[in-house]
Structure 1
Amino acid sequence: MRSLGLELEPDGLDMATILTRIGCRCHRSEPERQADSGIFRTERTKGTGQVGHCLGDGALCDTGPVPAEGGAVRRYWPFGLLILAATVAACASASHSGTSGRADPHGDPGLSTAQMSKLLNAVQTASAATSQAVLVEEGKRLFESTTLSKAGQSCATCHPSGGGVNMAAGIITHPTKAGDFTGPRTPIPLWGVAHTAPYTWDGHVATLSQQVTNTVLTFFSAGKTQPASTTAGQAAAILAYVSTLGPPPTAFDNGTMSAQALEGQKLFNSVGCVECHEGPFFTDNKLHVLGVPQVGNSDDPGNAALPGAFNTPELRDVKALAPYMHNGIFADLPRVLDFYSGNREVGIRQLTGPEKDAIVAFLMSL
């Protein structure tokens, strides 16, 4: 599936042409792959010593340098993508032009409701019709690819090691488009992301499918035009991959927490932290108004329907997520506890110094 971002529309193209445009990882001739790959076409190479170019539409090769001129390569399509092509060819109106500049990778792609609905239906079709193992493998490759975005970044630039967060990659500064709010937003981890809806800090995205599709549109497609089939295929693959992500084992999971962390867990539950941070990923999947301080003179209203409300973040691997809150206002966990201690908005009583230290020790074990 390396033929990404081609500037063409599937309208009026025969099925063979559509298949040529969506698919295609190229391999050297490997007859044993035929049984589990659905369909293939053998081509001849243009020349020797090239990396990633095959005769035909120029899809990239995964195999490195191609064989000598005239050497055989074999192109494969997972069987489910044939169904995807037939489905998406009928909704070419969902083709789009990505935004340019340094876009928020999780921002609003600017599609109409009808266009987004068609695109999400295509993503659903691809997800249902294609082997999950194939999608996960392809999704991981796309997630880690640095060749898809205009800036040469990948999903893994901000989310390394699967679902973690690389805070060194930087905080997104808004506005990124006309009429946007001002102020920063911190990246959100992907551990257990399939179970932590709604998405984005203001919670305006209800499903993971739409969140991933938004990312493909605003990040991978920035500044270029590509057909709905390409976008849907990318989104279905990345959706499958990120849905498998879980946190790495920790002291909390292994039952090896310190005595201080165990005391912190009791306090976490008794003083009310667990009211919002519950379950295996420590989130109630709801939005709350906490009165988090703004950064400078920024204007960040949060959720449009509930001004000042922000999504409850999960707490797995929270030790690696500094700075904290939606805008990165607190540099470390002790400062977060200072904010919550005696906070009338959330109803947590005043905490003593040792109590705060114990809760921090518990959080560090997650």
Structure 2
Amino acid sequence: MTTIKDIAELAGVSRTTVSRVLNRSGYVSEAAEARVMEVIEETGYIPSEQAKAMRTKQTKVIGVVLPKISTETVSRTVDGIDTKLSEHGYHLLLANTNLDPAKEIEHLKLLQSRRVDGIIIVATNINDQLLKMIERIKEPVVAVGQDIPGLPCVLYNDYEASRDVTDHLLQKGHRHIGFIGVSEQDRAVGHERLRAFRDTMASWGCPVEENWVQQGVFDIESGYEAMKQIIETSNVRPTAVFAVTDRLAIGAMEYVRSLGWKIPEDISFIGIGSSDLSKYSSPKLSTVDYYNEQAGMKTAELLLDYLRGDKKAPEKFIMNYGLIERNSI
């Protein structure tokens, strides 16, 4: 079998030069690269990792489809996934959809063509096109954060967490509570958290002012705009606002500060996510910790079980959460 040493001798270069050409790392002159590539083509040489993959039918690569790589909760989830999978010799290939459902499908097709050993999907919008695409994938697929039919999933307890948040505000004496959510096409964050808010308000006999229910898009600016909409379309202002992410809550807080209001004296806020921003906002934001890194590790463990053949039927695992009370209420 041809080795790197053979390639180096036939091309008249060092083994280091051959390695640099194969790995596309370090400087190699155009002439030397051309000689190496010519010998590789003539000998039909396959690099050792690729050869190993062909022998074992494993690439030791896991594809991870992400909705928005810049968000802190997603990055913590990926940290957990990587921590666990690297212990078993796997590498990650990340694909960022930037909340575009079309890119989600595109990236799944790409990962399948790259012959990854398995796929982890951090999904937002669950639609028929996505489900049909997943059905065509032969490799194990595990979801985190959304309950996708037919797939093993690691889930956050969105309904219970949202109910506890709303209940916490009500126990603090608030009866006029605003809500900043996201599109209900996102079943977990958009639909379930809003459903729990409405159910809890109803259980306390508190009406929901529809002008106080607004949507954002997972960033600070949309939280600012949603809060502006709540204030500008209402004759009476809420005494507290529940935002479904910390970033939305911090944007909303910034808007009321621009009006000269004091937090929490004039209005209270709470979010979900336990982001670093929540620790350093002024005042510090009350929030919910979803233990994203542990969720990532659990997702990786679940995928490893399926890769080893230990699991057959789809398994659902629901993560715990913790309410963190700070100075914004």
Band of TM-score, shorter chain: under 0.3
- TM-score, with normalisation over the residues of structure 2? 0.26
Which structure shows the bigger proportion of residues in helix conformation? 2
- TM-score, with normalisation over the residues of structure 1? 0.24
